Structure 1
Amino acid sequence: MDWFKLSLQLNKFPIKRALKALEKIQGIPEEDYAEFLRRRRNAIIDYHIQHNSFYREFFHWDGFDNWEKVPIMKKADLQHPLKERLSSTYNIKKAYIGKTSGSSGHPFIFAKDRFAHALSWAGFQDRYSWYGIDLNKSLQARFYGIPLDFYGNIQERLKDRISLRRRFNIFDLSEEKMQAFLDRFKKSDFNYLNGYTSAIVLFARFLKDRNIVLKELCPSLNICIVTSEKLFERDKKLIEEAIGVPVINEYGASEVGLIAFENSENQWIVNSEDLYIEILDEKNNVLPYGEEGRVVITSLYNKAHPMIRYDIGDIGCLSKDSSLKKPILEKLTGRTNDIARLPDGKVVPGLTFYYVTKTIIEDNGNIKEFVIIQTKIDAFKIEYVSKEELSEDQKNKILEAVGTYVGKNLNIHFERKNILKRSQSGKLKQFTSRLTDS
């Protein structure tokens, strides 16, 4: 039984039509791809200008002959009631309704028409097949959060059951709970893991501390797919050693679907079938391949809700080896709002702190997880989970590294926690600034 396909069909998502459409798009020759993208971009703009009053007003429509004049959509622009943003040809019952995680600080509810949603899933199914994973038959160990309210919880577990997913609830990552995770792997024929990077890294550390290779206890495992949070090279090596399977990087967002997926040659292949990806500078100019800027996405088939030149809030770079049909995401360096501002006016990526502390802390197996919070212009707090308190020597090494790589005369406060706070979806935000824009 093709359970995955059946579950989409029961919810009136035309997955058969989407799979055929995806195959047809993939068959377009490279030399014809620019024309395909031009027609699709024009078609989706024309549709929303005709049928979506919100987008018509947002665009200040008076005709256009240059794609680069199409306005950029920010997440804050979409924080209006959904009924005001829906196309007139759709209603809530005729579309798929979802909500962003809010990790950027701008959560909003969005809609996708049923074909666009099915096309997104066709893309996932295509990429997973690169590694022998069949969404209709392969059993997934799912390291995600789950709604805690009764009806939301039941609904999510029912979806998991139909979609061949078994949930590993990451809101409790105590050693007792991870032992229970391990026991489940011993009893089930899981084919792959899928989930948030930080949770799978923590489970991998649990395994490594016990000299366990998960695949030896669950031989059916083939791959591990990590998503939603940055994967560091050290963490990738740790997961591959502890779980015993290749680690694959997935980049996606609920409002647009699959953005990029890592192939066997360690390239992040961008989804160019139903999305159009641009990298822009601060003045909204399109950057050439090889230059870093803001990731801006157009959903080419979503007629229910405009996602046109949508600034997703990430910073990235497309490889110089990219083409229109096969864009390659060379790097994804973080979110645009993940920056630290210092007293001397210096602005540094929040991940700079993470790299500094991670390198030092990982030399000692004591620390399990940590996050960094900017509380004042000159003050930062490092919250961490560990078996033992950080020693004064370890703290001094971190302070010295911060002074070298970030800035001098900063106040760093260390706070040991039993558990770190995650978002409602289960994500662990590695750096947070509590400074206001002013």
Structure 2
Amino acid sequence: MFRLFDLSLQINGFPMKEAKAELRKIVAFSEKEHQVFVQNKKQEIVHFHLQNNAFYKHLVGSENYENWEDLPVLNKKNLQKPLLERLSKGYSVKNSYVNKTSGSSGTPFIFAKDKYCHALTWASNMYRFGWYGIDFNTSYQARFYGIPMDFIGNKKERFKDFLSHRFRFSIFDLSDDVLEKMLKKFQNKKFNYINGYTSSIVLFAKFLQKKNIVLTSICSTLKVCMVTSEMLFDDDKMLLEKQFGIPIVNEYGASELDLIAFQNTEGEWQVNSETLFVEILNENNKAVANGTSGRIVITSLFNKAHPFIRYDLGDIGILDEKSTLQKPILKKLIGRTNDVAVLPSGKKSPGLTFYYVTKSIIEDDGNVKEFVIKQTKIDCFEIEYVSEAELNLEQIKKIKKAIELYLEPHLNFIFIRKNSLERSNRGKLKQFKSML
């Protein structure tokens, strides 16, 4: 069988055969072998960067270290310097895979992976999607993502989509007319799976709900839907399952690393322990016990072009108590550290709290399609929303009451109805934003 996807990666210098073979070997390890593998890989990658990477050596302060815990925790601010100053000896923009993070954390930067490391990233993606019978070479993807608007950038993405056997829906305009056209595509094309940003896929599901259509009734080839990049709430997951008629899989990744966690067929959010080493740390950079929340800090075990060693993603999460080194389970992803509202009483609340509060009330009648919350002053918040009808006083009163209950009284809210919400240049929707 002709494997165009693998071939296009191979032609671009990504050694897919070797990467897939190595991944198969890692996955087959016993618990004990896996422990030895992780220990060796950690030592090996640190040693490599201390010898070959001036940026990392400077950060550590010497060529030697005693304990893993002594190594500095990298953050995005450390990385906001020219890429050429951060590359390892022997690696350049020409012989590495170079890309830019989405900047959803507020601090975008350019990063690099060596070609073998990037091939492993693809191998690990393929392995996980394979749990649901999806093969990147043969399965047809309906992709809900942003796309460059300039002519050349647009054509380049479309060509990549052709090689990757996927059809892209641009998500910058999600009016009913556009959603109607998407529906037509599902009627005419044999899609096998859906992949893309949560908020856009949820919007499409709400449109189907209004029309009383289950997607598999018009596109029977669909097997599964993977949502990524934004929070998936329980009620949204139920809506997606109902309107699509297929399993909904939640993935969590970072472009500079790999897939970090991917829901397995038992419904657990299984952490990638093959190419990454994941730690949950407290504010003193000490590992916390499973079941306790902390900062998600990740080491890329294979990236020689650029160090991602004890790299703080800016996310907060909890590992399940039953996690092991070989099979860590992400119990909960709480959100980003920078999405925190500071209230007049001094209380700090994750921005998602507002989202939960307003969501539960706004969802009642399905009038509001989507919304974002902005903190403009310590006691002032703006809620921008897209809806068929203006929120009435009754609904606004309910929202204010719930916010007093969950957060604190005497906060001021301004409700602004809009035709569409501002998305990032990639099409992501940032659900809470502090302007303080």
Q: What interval of TM-score do these two structures reach, taking the shorter chain for normalisation?
A: over 0.9
SS of residue in 2 equivalent to 1:362: helix
CA distance in 2, matches of 1:290, 1:402: 28
CA offset digits 1:141-178 (Å, max 9, x no partner): 00000111222111111101000011010011111111
1:381 paired to 2:382: yes
Q: For residues 415-430 of structure 1, what are the structure 2 equivalents within 5 Å?
A: 415-430=416-431
Whichever residue aligns with residue 356 of structure 2, its letter is Y
Aligned to 1:414: 415
Shift of 1:10: 1.2
SS of residue in 2 equivalent to 1:401: helix
Q: For residues 208-219 of structure 1, what are the structure 2 equivalents within 5 Å?
A: 208-219=209-220
CA distance in 2, matches of 1:250, 1:46: 31
Aligned to 2:41: 40
CA distance in 2, matches of 1:268, 1:4: 27
CA offset digits 1:16-44 (Å, max 9, x no partner): 10000001111221022222111101111
CA contact (8 A) 2:50 2:63 kept: no
Q: How many residues align?
A: 435
Aligned to 2:133: 132
CA distance in 2, matches of 1:163, 1:424: 22
Shift of 1:298: 0.3
CA offset digits 1:55-101 (Å, max 9, x no partner): 11111124112101110000011000111111111000100001000
CA contact (8 A) 2:169 2:182 kept: yes
Aligned to 2:111: 110
CA contact (8 A) 2:269 2:331 kept: yes
Aligned to 1:2: 3
Aligned to 1:88: 89
Q: For residues 36-435 of structure 1, what are the structure 2 equivalents within 5 Å?
A: 36-435=37-436
SS of residue in 2 equivalent to 1:412: strand
Give me the TM-score of the superposition, normalised by structure 1.
Answer: 0.99
CA distance in 2, matches of 1:3, 1:88: 33
Whichever residue aligns with residue 432 of structure 2, its letter is F
Whichever residue aligns with residue 222 of structure 2, its letter is L
CA distance in 1, matches of 2:151, 2:77: 31
CA distance in 1, matches of 2:252, 2:41: 23
Give me the TM-score of the superposition, normalised by structure 2.
Answer: 0.99
CA offset digits 1:245-273 (Å, max 9, x no partner): 11000110100011010012110110000
SS of residue in 2 equivalent to 1:76: coil
CA offset digits 1:198-251 (Å, max 9, x no partner): 000000000000001111100000000000101000000001111111100011
CA distance in 2, matches of 1:16, 1:387: 52
CA distance in 1, matches of 2:276, 2:306: 14
SS of residue in 1 equivalent to 2:288: coil
**What RMSD over aligned residues (CA atoms) do the two structures have, in Å?**
0.7
Whichever residue aligns with residue 328 of structure 1, its letter is I
Aligned to 1:30: 31
SS of residue in 1 equivalent to 2:305: coil
SS of residue in 2 equivalent to 1:75: coil
SS of residue in 2 equivalent to 1:363: helix
CA offset digits 1:324-367 (Å, max 9, x no partner): 11001011010011110011111011111000000000111110
CA contact (8 A) 2:20 2:120 kept: yes
CA distance in 2, matches of 1:387, 1:301: 50
> Identity of counterpart residues, as a percentage?
56
Whichever residue aligns with residue 55 of structure 2, its letter is F
Listed as ranges, the gaps of 5+ residues in structure 1 are none
Greater displacement, 28-37 / 251-260:
28-37
CA distance in 2, matches of 1:23, 1:365: 46
SS of residue in 2 equivalent to 1:321: coil
Whichever residue aligns with residue 55 of structure 1, its letter is Y
CA distance in 2, matches of 1:189, 1:176: 22
Whichever residue aligns with residue 264 of structure 1, its letter is T
CA offset digits 1:287-345 (Å, max 9, x no partner): 11111100000000000000000000110011111111100101101001111001111
CA distance in 2, matches of 1:43, 1:288: 26
CA distance in 2, matches of 1:351, 1:212: 30
CA distance in 1, matches of 2:46, 2:63: 13
CA distance in 2, matches of 1:337, 1:207: 34
SS of residue in 1 equivalent to 2:359: helix
Whichever residue aligns with residue 182 of structure 1, its letter is L
SS of residue in 2 equivalent to 1:226: strand
CA distance in 1, matches of 2:179, 2:8: 30
Greater displacement, 83-92 / 61-70:
61-70
CA distance in 2, matches of 1:261, 1:93: 31
